[in-house]
Every structure is written in C-alpha cells, then in structure tokens.
Amino acid sequence: MTQVTRAARRLTREEEHEFLPYNDPSLPGLLNQRPLTPAVHAWLQTYHVDDYYGRDGAGTLLSFIVHGEMYTSAAAIPKAELVSLARDLLARGADPNAGKNGAILIEACTGLAPDVMVPLLCEAGADPNTTKDHKGRTALAFVLREVLKAQISCGVTAPVGMKTHWSELDTLELVRALLRSGAQLDAIENSGDSSLEYPFVDDQGRFVRGPLSAESILRSYDIYIPYEHTNTSQLPEIKRLVAGVRAAKGSYARYVKKELLVLRALVRKRRATIADDNQRTAFDILARSPDEIAWRILGFKRW
C-alpha cells in the first residue's frame, strides 16, 4: 500500500478529533475503531507515521499504541495486536524517540506490554538515557522507582488499574533490557525528595536529593522493606545485576563478557551447574569455542 513520505507535522484541531476523541471511546476516531490494524493502515495512506497529536506535540501514533492507555476499558483490543502494530510502525520508520515529551520508553513501562514494548523500542534505537520525563527520570529510574516499588508492595502503591499488571512483571528483564541498550547508572533522576514514601539515602544514612544513581534508588528499599507486606523476589537479582554492571565501569557489554568468561572457566573445570544432558552439551560446545564464536553465541542469547 502507499504511504505518506512527507515530514511529520502536528495535526490541526479537526484532525486531532479524527485521530482520537480523547476520553470518549464512544465517539468516532482512528484509535476507537475496531479492528484497529486495518484502520491504522488506512490512516497511513493520508498521514505520516510520525504526525504529532495535539498542539504541544503530545505524542505520535506509535506513542499511543505503545502506551495503550485508551485500551484498558471494555473496548480493549488484544495486547498482541498492540505489539504487532508497534512492530509495524517501527518497520515503517516511526521514530522510537518521538513519544510524549520524548519519554516513549517510560510510556512503554506504563503500558499494557512493557515486557515486549521496552525491548522492542530499545532495539529500534530508543534513547534509554533521555530525562525528558516531567520528573527528570530516565526509563531505568522509572522502573526502579515505580515498577519495582509496585512489585515489592504487591501492587498496593501502583496506580489504579496497574496494580496486578505491574506486580506480575518480570522487572529484572526490564532492567536488563535497558542496561543492554546502554542505560547509564548515574544521574538517572533529578528530583530526589526526602519527603517521598521511599526517601533516598547514602551509605551513611543521610538523605540524598538528585541527581540520583541506580544504587541510590535501590538502597532506599533497604530501610522500608521491613515495614511493608513485600514481595522482594527480584530485588536481590536486580541489585546484583546493577553491581556487576557498575564493576564493569557501567558497561553492560563488558559485564556480560566477564560473566561469559567465568562461565566458560567453570565449564572447562566441570564445575558449572547443569540441568540436563542437553545443557551439558551446550556448555561443552561453549567451552571449546574460540572467543570470536563465543561472542557470536552471546549475540543470540538473552543475558
């Protein structure tokens, strides 16, 4: 099908109404049509994939699909269709950094499929270190501050409609995806506030105001976890991952190479933990492979 190739622009007021009559799914509009996919494809014959919604450039079609905010009601469409549409828009050249205020990764974290959308956007080139969020947070800060807190508190502190959703996420994999894409550990939030439910403290127990590091945010849980009905299953692994990346001078790639070298050494000494014969065979292949092959294997593995 044909597709508009002109530069992106902001929609007129009339076009905004055709795009999304916000907060009223009963009215006609692109994002209220079902099935949505063919409606989007038809829309793209007239509009650029990155045309902005709203006078202030509040978002693009991709940002709305990634966030999925308007699909949490009875008019919800399957999560799989949202993911498929996001892949389609990115393949058509959608800018992975053109979301609301440029913080599209945070929108993905608050959406209906963070476990898929976040890695998808990272692979497409979304900047994990943008701090255009209204609190000066990167996506990593948002995950550590909001998503992990909701998980630890069994969803009690999550926004309405997100409690179960956030508490069931694999937060470790979200953190890993962001670090893999180059998320930095320092200055990931600039709104440190000692009056917050989980204040931030340094090694001497003193309150810390921004900019905050990943370790600062993680450390804040240590004091307050005993007073919560908590689910801390992923917190130790996230701390270990962050500590490992920090030891590798903030580079996830260097951290993973070190982990792989350790694994290969253990395999060669037959001290690596194994689950079955198939894993033993895979370990043996890894141990015997030259470095360049090992790094190639690494490229196809989710670490």
Tell me what pLDDT residue 156 has. Answer: 47
Tell me what pLDDT residue 194 has. Answer: 45
Please give the structure tokens belonging to residue 231: 């689910």
User: CA nearest 109: which of 58, 178, 49?
Assistant: 178
**By mean pLDDT, which of 107-111, 169-173, 179-183, 228-232 is the weakest?**
228-232
Q: How confident is the model at residue 276 (pLDDT cuts 50, 70, 90)?
A: low
Q: Where are the domains of the chain?
A: 1-96, 128-250, 256-303
pLDDT over threshold 80, residue 271? no
Instruction: Say which residue, 183 or 137, is predicted with more confidence.
Output: 183
What distance, in Å, lies between the first and last C-alpha atoms of the chain?
A: 38
Q: How confident is the model at residue 123 (pLDDT cuts 50, 70, 90)?
A: very high
**By mean pLDDT, which of 123-137, 252-266, 276-290 is the weakest?**
276-290
What is the rounded distance in angstroms from the CA atom of residue 150 to the CA atom of residue 102? 24
pLDDT over threshold 60, residue 181? yes
Please give the structure tokens belonging to residue 209: 């105001």
pLDDT over threshold 70, residue 94? yes
What is the rounded distance in angstroms from the CA atom of residue 160 to the CA atom of residue 206? 32
Helix 114-123 to helix 79-91 angle (10° resolution) is 10
φ, ψ of residue 28 to 5 degrees: the values are -70, 150
Tell me what pLDDT residue 103 has. Answer: 80
Tell me what pLDDT residue 89 has. Answer: 96
Whether the full predicted model's pTM is greater than 0.75, yes or no, is yes
Stretch 214-234: mean pLDDT, rounded? 73
The pLDDT tens digits for 15-56 are 888 887 666 667 778 888 888 899 999 999 999 999 988 766
The pLDDT tens digits for 280-303 are 566 666 666 776 666 666 554 444
pLDDT over threshold 50, residue 155? no
Helices (H), the chain: 13-19, 36-43, 61-67, 79-91, 104-109, 114-123, 139-142, 148-152, 163-167, 171-180, 214-224, 235-247, 252-268, 277-288, 291-299
